[in-house]
A and B are shown apart, each in its own frame.
Chain A
Amino acid sequence: MNKEILTMRNIIKSYHMADEEQIILKGVNLKVYDGEFISILGPSGSGKSTMMNIIGCLDTPTSGEYILSDRKIGELDQIELAHIRSKEIGFIFQSFQLLPRLSAIENVELPMIYAGVAPGERIKRAQTMLERVGLENKTKHYPNQLSGGQQQRVAIARALSTNPTILLADEPTGALDQKTGNQVMGLFSELNKEGRTIIMITHDVNVAKTAGRIVRILDGNLYDEVAEND
């Protein structure tokens, strides 16, 4: 078995809302190994988004232990979390989240700017990443000149640019038609075959099936065969 790169032990996340405590995650356990492609499948309101926020180090758990690449995330401050996100996580969003005033290549360069990659190296890597997702002819295009599928591929190139430990995708096909959605999923499979670890959050069973492993989340509880067998 490959190296464990992500471990969650009894993660609880609760929010105070209108004088009552709402428990969103009720003791989640999860292990992800290097090179895995895993889908977190659940309906809306199940705690999916909270899961993604915690995995993506945008949020910290109320209690429990989250270890990413041998570091305890719960103990880190905002600045350290920013560094972790920069180094470990490549985000892919449902609505692509490209900056409209930047060209495709500039969008891909953005995370590398924050990671402190030198300009020359940055452009070279951005070029390579765009080639990898098949958009070498669109580098100077702006998001509004690209189709949805192309925009999502730019977003994938952006997520890959810092060579992160995990690709974290949140409903990556949610804003795409079935055909382009399938193309994007095909790209995900290829990337996974190249050894990339991918965590995908979705409500769509068919999309989730692309992954090698599916964990279901329902009402704040995670049902994971692998974890349970562990």
Chain B
Amino acid sequence: MIKESIKMSWQNIVHNKMRSFLTTLGIVIGVTAIIALVTIVQGVTGEITSQFSSLGAGKITVQAYGTPLKQGLSDNDLKKLMEMENISGISPTLSMEASVVKNASVEEDVAVEGKNQVYFQNNTDLIVRGRALNKIDMENKNKVGIINQSLEETLFFGEDSVGQTMQINGITYTVVGVLDENAINDVTAMMARSSGEGSDGKVIIPYTAAMSIAGVSNISSFEVLIADTNKTDQVIEDTKLILNQAFNYKENSYNIINMESLLDTMNTMTNMMTAMMAGIASIALLVGGIGIMNMMLVSVTERTTEIGLRKALGAEPKRIQLQFLIESIFLSLLGGTIGVLLGVGISWVVTAALGITFVMSTWAIALGFGFSAAVGIVFGWAPARRASNLNPIDALRSV
């Protein structure tokens, strides 16, 4: 019984090819929009999220501006921080620009960063050749440095630089290792890369040595590496306590950035945005549904005689209703299918163009199909009902 209804509906749709196509266009556009928007937004979000989490997973970043009297943290303060529970280390950072000289080659404005051994423990694939900085380098303020490949290229002309010397602001440093540029994943490095500002060269030296070069005795930027991410909040509290003591509870003396909570906020925002976009696209679906309803009403009027005849031949009202309902569901599912294909195609092209990984969103596809079927039922109901309620005499009389 259903089979015949489906067959008859299909014949009617195929018979009115142009009209069926135009009717489904609204659904096609709606579903395409939903799927393309959701897939693209999810792709972009996924990309941003993965970049952010590679920057900030399992650590908090602290800017300790300090007070006019005490601009940053002393060695003593850092020691206290290092004694906190649930952390795997404290990684201070001291950034400056300096000129680096090797023989006659001078490289101005090289980014010199003071780090400690913890930084390398957490980023094991940073070193391509030579060794990382260690604890002894820190304690002895050893004049050793790790340079990146582009600085090695300009200063050492492609020779192996490990074991050779260079002058940073006039002080002789020994190169002990070479840095893999692409492995550097922190916010400043990324920003420098994307903005293209400054020299490409980079040197990492013990932070204690860097403090001497810069002539400062305090550290104002560091990262806390968290051993157990479930205890992040506890670590933040502990950090605040130490910082408050260090700066006598002065307001705005420090700023703690927790990447995870940033990420959470961002996820909430993008989820909201996705929902909003899907909502806007649903308006197209609604309009498409009205289009289908209009077409079905026209169809019922056109086929009044046919309906009357079918009734005279013994069709129950619900049979007639079912046939028209199937027809409208068919139409909207047809639109839905085309929309899904188009949507997936468009998002594939767009993600490829943006260089984002294309992830097929099954729930977007399910949503597209579900929505279009629902539109077919909801907007097909009234016309189908009207058809089934037609009086067969009136219907046959209109011949």
Contact = CB atoms under 8 A, between A and B. Distances in A.
Nearest to B395: A58
A3 interface: no
B393 interface: yes
A145 to B, nearest CB: 16
B315 A116 contact: no
Contacts of A95: 399
A85 B314 contact: yes
A174 B133 CA distance: 107
Contacts of B311: 58, 82, 85
Contact of A58 (B310, B312, B319): B312
B312 A114 contact: no
A114 B316 contact: yes
A127 interface: no
A99 B392 CA distance: 16
Given A58-B393, A58-B396, A101-B12, A83 B314 contact: yes
Contacts of A49: 397
B7 to A, nearest CB: 9
B385 to A, nearest CB: 13
A82 B399 contact: no
Given A86-B314, A97-B309, A116 B15 contact: no
Nearest to A161: B313
A114 B319 contact: yes
Contacts of B399: 93, 95, 97
Q: Provide the main secondary structure of the chain B interface.
A: helix
B320 to A, nearest CB: 10
Contact of B393 (A59, A91, A162): A59
A76 interface: no
Contact of B4 (A89, A97, A113): A113
Contact of A115 (B310, B314, B318): B314
Interface string A46-63: 000100010010110000
B305 interface: yes
A82 B313 CA distance: 8
Contacts, number: 62
Contacts of B393: 53, 58-59
Contacts of B392: 58
Contacts of A97: 305, 309, 396, 399
Interface in B1-39: 1, 4, 11-12, 15
A78 B11 contact: no
B256 to A, nearest CB: 73
Interface in A70-86: 78-79, 82-83, 85-86
B306 interface: yes
B12 A91 contact: no
Given A58-B396, A99-B306, A99-B309, A83 B316 contact: yes
A87 B316 CA distance: 12
Interface residues of B, number: 23
A149 interface: no
Q: Among the interface residues B313, B319, B397, which one has the most CB atoms of the partner chain A within 10 A?
A: B313
A85 B313 contact: yes
Interface residues of A, number: 28
Interface string B363-399: 0000000000000000000000000000011001101
Given A97-B305, A99-B306, A114 B313 contact: yes
A86 B4 CA distance: 17
B46 interface: no
A111 interface: yes
A116 B393 CA distance: 23
B317 interface: yes
A111 B305 contact: no
A104 interface: no
A59 B315 CA distance: 15
Interface string B318-333: 1100000000000000
A41 to B, nearest CB: 21
A110 interface: yes
B317 A86 contact: no
B15 A101 contact: yes
A56 B312 CA distance: 8
A85 B314 CA distance: 5
A89 B314 CA distance: 9
Contacts of A53: 393
Contacts of A115: 314
Contacts of A114: 310, 313-316, 319
B213 to A, nearest CB: 89
A97 B396 CA distance: 9
Interface string B180-205: 00000000000000000000000000
Contacts of B312: 56, 58, 85, 89, 91
B239 to A, nearest CB: 77
Contacts of A86: 313-315
Instruction: Give the most central of A83, A99, A115, A162: most B CB within 10 Å.
Output: A99
Interface in A94-142: 95, 97, 99, 101-102, 110-111, 113-116
Nearest to A90: B313
Interface of B: 1, 4, 11-12, 15, 305-306, 309-319, 392-393, 396-397, 399
16 contacts: A58-B392, A59-B393, A78-B316, A79-B318, A82-B315, A85-B311, A85-B313, A89-B312, A91-B312, A91-B313, A93-B396, A99-B306, A102-B11, A113-B4, A114-B310, A114-B315
Q: Which 5 A-B pairs have the closest CB atoms?
A: A86-B314, A114-B314, A111-B313, A82-B316, A114-B315
Given A89-B312, A97-B309, A114-B316, 6 more contacts: A58-B392, A79-B316, A82-B314, A83-B316, A111-B313, A111-B314
